[in-house]
Structures are given as structure tokens and as C-alpha cells.
Amino acid sequence: MRIGIVCYPTFGGSGVLATELGKALADKGHQVHFITYQQPVRLNEFNANIFYHEVRVTTYPLFDYPPYETALSSTMVDVIMNQRLDLLHVHYAIPHASAAYMAKKIVETQGRRIPVITTLHGTDITLVGRDKTFAPVVAFSINQSDAITAVSQNLCDETYRTFAIEKEIRVIHNFVDTQRFHRRPIDAFKRVIAPNGERILLHASNFRKIKRVQDIVHIFDYVKKKLPAKLLFVGDGPERPGAETLCRELGICDDVRFVGRQEQMEDILAVADLFLLTSEYESFGLAALEAMAAGVPVVSTNAGGLPEIQVEGETGYLSEVGDIGDMSSHAISILEDDAVLKKFKANAAAHAKKFDIHTIVPEYEALYNRFLG
């Protein structure tokens, strides 16, 4: 198959998932064409079946807002026609689904039919999408897609609750390459982070408000009072300065490291003992699944799709949003006993296999096949 994948190229979960899907499809012999404005961060190796088409937005003094969506549709048309694509798979509805609808209509005038599959990832529905500046276009373009998928049952339900969707939304859970995340810790790295064998807690995100990163700092402060521990913050975003200030106020800066955006998550996760995710909402929580695949238990909120990936009391614990006390006691209960920690680590790794790349990617292929032939 010749598949066009449209996504955000950044560190966000939707772009990561789309890129990993494209790489897996290419490994299976499909020809994959990424269409986006920058090389996706996880597209970091050569594969003869992978192509990258950059969307270039022309600037002009009249444009206070460069028309990315128009440029994206035009690039889609170019790639569909010249690379003879069989289908377009767009990740994150805004503006990808509406740009794909436009491209589809344009190529129809040239005698080409191209099926469009839209995968909903979360904030395109729950946060940005429901804003009235976007909502009518989001609802229309989702309804115009030939197939719609959501990354969790929760997101599927939220989408039906938010928009008048006339079509079936299929749930295809996010996935992880469990082999890749099954790594031995790099001892030298571990010694730098935790020189005295302290427990290592980890959070990775885009530091947006929805992640409630200050809750992470408070939880760590509680944990640290009970046992020797270090906290690693991976990623960057608008709430990072606030988290840094809070660390200073609590006097815990020496035990907290902000390491910025990182590509080699598997190496970082390999040294971690616990992953913290305090989000107000997560459609799925791909970062938590990657942690589990690396054998790292997760203490998280019970928001959105997180209960679909975690098993309470086995892979970690789920608490009400904002319940710092509950999350702290759960973290301590996992970390204070070697045998308990070992059990949770093994459970997390075993449960992540349910979402293995080799199980989930065929679900997308089966969906594609419905539109071909």
C-alpha cells in the first residue's frame, strides 16, 4: 500500500504515535509518505520505504497568519497525485482532517478517489476542538472522513458527547514497541542521577497546564520526606518555570533535574523506578504506556483513558485528579519495599505487552484494507 501520514512532527503523543505507526508499516513493506512541516522527531533512521514531504508555507506581507492549512492541502494533493497514494491517514483533527477533506475534493476533480482516515488523539476533541472557533469545522471534517478512529474508548465516548458524529468511531488503542523499551539500565547514567542508589521518579510531558506538573513536585516532596529519591523531569513547555519556582520554594532543587526534550526515552526510562502522571485529562497517556513497557510502574490520575491502560494495584495506582496525598502514599507504598517495587515493575512490563506494536498495527492495516481493492 502507498499510505500518506499527516501529523504534527513535534514531541507530542499524536506525532510520536503517527511516526511509530509509519515506521512499523514501512517495516512491513508498505510505502509510507509523511506530510508535515518538519521532520518528525521520531523519524530518525533511514528506511527505503519512508518518504518525507515538507509543507512549505509561503510568506507574504498581507498574511498576518500564514495559511498553513491551504499549504497542507496543496501538498497533500501533490503527494496523492504524484506518489499515487492509496489512502491518507491523518492524525489529530485540527487542521489535518479539514485539510484532507479539501485535498480529497480537489483530487476528485482530477478523477482520483482517496479514502481519508482520521485518528482522534485527545485535545483535538476535548480541549481545542470544542472551542467554538474550531468546533463546526472539526465536526464537519470528522463526519466527512471515510473512517474515524479514537485512541481510547474514553475519547470515543467524549467525541460522541461533544459533536454530532453520524459515523462509527473505531477504538484502536495506542501501542508501544515493547522490545525497544525493554532495556538494561546504563549504570553510569544511573550513578549520575542517583549516586547513592536513591529511587528515581520520572515525569515526561509537554508541560502544559492540563498536566498539572506542580502536583508532581508536591508528590515528590512528600516521597522525599519518607525515602531517598530523585526526580527527573523530561520535556519542556509553558508550566516548566512554575515547576522550577516551586522546587526552589520547597528547597528540593538539588534532587530535581529538568533534562529538557529527549529522544532516547528508552534509555531514560530504563533507570527509572516510578512514572508520575498527574493530568487533568489524558485521552490515553502514551508516555505512561512507554514507561510500563520499560518496566516502570505508574502512579497517575484516573482521568480519561488512563484506566484503560493501567491495572489498579498491579501496574501502579490511579487517583482522583489533584489528590496529591493519595498519589504520594501510593508512590511511597511502591517505592519503600524492594520486593513490592520488583513486583510492580514486572506487572507493568507484562501488561504493556497487551498494547504491543505487533498486536495493534494489524488493526490499522485491516482498516486500510476495507478501503482498497
Judged by CB under 6 A, the chain residues 137 through 156 that form the site for ligand GMT are 151
| SS3 of residue 217 by DSSP | helix
How many other C-beta atoms are found inside a 10 Å radius of the C-beta of residue 192? 11
DSSP annotation of 232:
E
Q: Is 208 in the site for ligand GMT (CB under 6 A)?
A: yes
CB-nearer residue toward ligand GMT: 13 or 295: 13
- Cα separation, 360 vs 365, in Å, equals 9
Nearer to ligand GMT, 14 or 159 (CB): 14
In the chain, count H helices and then E strands.
16, 13
Is 285 a binder of ligand GMT (CB under 6 A)? Answer: yes
Among 31, 123, 145, 154, binds ligand GMT (CB under 6 A): 123
Closest contact distance (angstroms) between CB of 237 and ligand GMT is 9
121 binds ligand GMT (CB under 6 A): yes
* 310 in contact with ligand GMT (CB under 6 A): no
Among 19, 75, 174, 178, binds ligand GMT (CB under 6 A): 174
Check residue 206 for interaction with ligand GMT (CB under 6 A): yes
Binder to ligand GMT among 122, 235, 295, 297 (CB under 6 A)? 122
Angle at the Cα of 55 (from 51 to 56), degrees rounded to 5? 135
Q: Which residue type, as a one-letter code, is found at position 89?
A: H
87 vs 176, beta carbon nearer ligand GMT: 176
* Residue 281 binding ligand GMT, by CB under 6 A: yes
12 binds ligand GMT (CB under 6 A): yes
Of the candidate residues 284, 344, 355, 368, the single one contacting ligand GMT (CB under 6 A): 284
Per-residue exposure over 31-69, b if at least 16 CB sit within 10 Å of its own CB, e if not: bbbbbbeeebbbbeeeeebbbebebeeeeeeeeeeeeeb
Per rule CB under 6 A, is residue 14 in the interface with ligand GMT? yes
Residues 347 and 297 sit within 8 Å (Cβ to Cβ) = yes
**If residue 31 lies in a helix (H) or strand (E), which one and from where to where?**
strand 31-36
First to last CA, the chain: 11
Parallel, antiparallel or unpaired: strands 229-234 and 87-91: unpaired
Q: Which is nearer to ligand GMT, 17 or 331 (CB)?
A: 17
Phi, psi of 205, deg, nearest 5:
-170, -175
Is residue 95 reached through a cis peptide bond, with omega within 30 degrees of 0 on the bond before it? Answer: yes
Interface with ligand GMT, residue 316, by CB under 6 A: no
Q: Which is nearer to ligand GMT, 75 or 126 (CB)?
A: 126
**Binding segment (CB under 6 A) for ligand GMT, from list 8-16, 82-90, 268-276, 309-317:** 8-16
Taking CB under 6 A as the binding criterion, the range among 21-29, 70-78, 186-194, 275-283 that sits at the site for ligand GMT is: 275-283
13 part of the interface to ligand GMT, by CB under 6 A: yes
Residues 6+ apart with CB under 8 A from 79: 4, 33, 35, 53, 85
> With respect to ligand GMT, which residue has the nearer C-beta, 185 or 237?
237
Site for ligand GMT in 72-101 (CB under 6 A): 92
Phi, psi of 71 (to 5 degrees): -65, -40
Q: HSE (CB half, 13 Å, CA atoms) of 127?
A: 13
Q: Which residue stretch of 14-22, 136-144, 176-184, 327-335 sits at the interface with ligand GMT (rule: CB under 6 A)?
A: 14-22
Interaction site with ligand GMT (CB under 6 A): 12-15, 17, 92, 121-123, 151, 174, 206, 208, 210, 281-286
